[in-house]
């Protein structure tokens, strides 16, 4: 499911606007799609969504199929963003005579 060729195939179908190109002949309804194929398409679309993240937030390919590792990865990403937005990365303001005159 995480094979590069498969993900690229799903990317191409998605970019053409219609993943129906991935379905076998005779499929008339979403209910007719074989379960494993549906899961493979769904997984590839999820993997492709990782490309929309900033590069440092994108999980490494070797954990894509490991649900627990992927969950831990995104928990760490959320924690990192929360820490960043809570002011931990903001340095103390510079104090000088001009600021002292304004802040009195």
Q: Which domain holds residue 41?
A: 1-69
pTM, rounded to two decimals:
0.73
Distance CA 14, CA 20 (A): 9
Residue 102 placed within a domain: no
The string of pLDDT tens digits covering residues 38-70 is: 999 999 999 999 999 999 999 999 999 999 999
Distance CA 10, CA 21 (A): 9
Residue 61 placed within a domain: yes
**Residue 2 Cα to chain centre, angstroms:** 14
Q: Which residues of 53-84 are buried (b: 16+ CB within 10 A; e: fewer)?
A: eeeeeebeeeebeeeeebeebeeebeeeeeee
Cβ atoms of 40 and 1 closer than 8 Å? yes
Residue 16 placed within a domain: yes
Residue 24 placed within a domain: yes
Specify the DSSP element, H or E, that contains 8.
helix 4-15
On average, the pLDDT of the chain sits at 88
Residue 104 placed within a domain: no
The total number of structural domains in the chain stands at 1
Residue 103 placed within a domain: no
């Amino acid at each position: 499911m995480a094979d590069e060729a498969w993900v690229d195939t799903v990317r191409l179908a998605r970019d053409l606007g219609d993943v129906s190109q991935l379905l076998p002949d005779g499929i008339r309804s979403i209910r007719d799609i074989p379960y494993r194929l549906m899961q493979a398409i769904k997984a590839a679309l999820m993997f492709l969504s990782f490309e929309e993240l900033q590069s440092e937030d994108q999980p490494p390919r070797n954990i894509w199929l490991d649900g627990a590792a992927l969950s831990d990865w995104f928990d760490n990403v959320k924690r990192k963003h929360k820490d960043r937005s809570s002011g931990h990365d903001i340095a103390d303001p510079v104090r000088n005579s001009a600021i002292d005159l304004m802040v009195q």
